[in-house]
Amino acid sequence: MKLDVNLSPDVVKALLVGGGLLLTYGVWATLSDVTIKMRYQPVYGEQSGSSELSDPSVTYSLPIVQASTEKELSAGESPISDDQIEAAFNLPMPAVDQEEDAKKAVRKLTVKEIFQATYNPTVEAISDGGVFLAGGFWRVGEAVMSMPVRDSVGNVVYPVILGVSSRGVTLRLDAEPISLPFVHY
């Protein structure tokens, strides 16, 4: 017995599209049923010990206030003002040492600290004549024009590549040397 079945390309395409649609509907129906059942499942948190312990000496509890008065109040009159009620539930302001604030206010960031904080530069690759830094190739002695920084006077300065070694790159920024290590992956 010989089976001789010849299907035209149009019939094959129609069968594949129909099968794909049927498969898509089956997956959608299954996933929607699973997500509906998931809504009613219990959620458990992470069951691990906390490595950070709270300081038991610092407790912030709300004050217990019992209002009492010795005088007769008229209707609508309160024995405690709104400011007193608000003050009872606010934490007291810590005492501020004026000298510490003056020291913190006087300290200014150096150009090197500003450069590190602004760009967080990383050495991407090193070659004999230069370095790949901040997405570009920069030669030794060349200013890195993609990383401008303002100095203490307000002038714009650019880091200049002083030297390249297998361990990293040395930059000079406003007469201050900066070493950037090369991290091998």
Low-confidence ranges of the chain (pLDDT < 70): 1-4, 43-71, 73, 76-79, 92-96, 101-107, 185
Q: Which helix (H) or strand (E) holds 176?
A: strand 176-181
- The 10 Å Cβ neighbour count of residue 45 is 5
* Residue found under tokens 């498969």: 23
pLDDT at 120: 86
Q: Give the global pTM.
A: 0.43
pLDDT at 27: 95
CB-count burial class (<10 Å; 0-12, 13-18, 19+) for 27: exposed
pLDDT at 25: 96
CB-count burial class (<10 Å; 0-12, 13-18, 19+) for 148: middle
Rounded Cα–Cα distance for residues 109 and 165 (Å)? 28
pLDDT at 79: 67
pLDDT at 176: 85
91 with 150: CB under 8 angstroms? no
pLDDT at 22: 97
Which tokens in the block code for residue 160? 């200049």
Identity of the amino acid at 152 = S
* Residue found under tokens 């650019």: 158
- The 10 Å Cβ neighbour count of residue 158 is 16
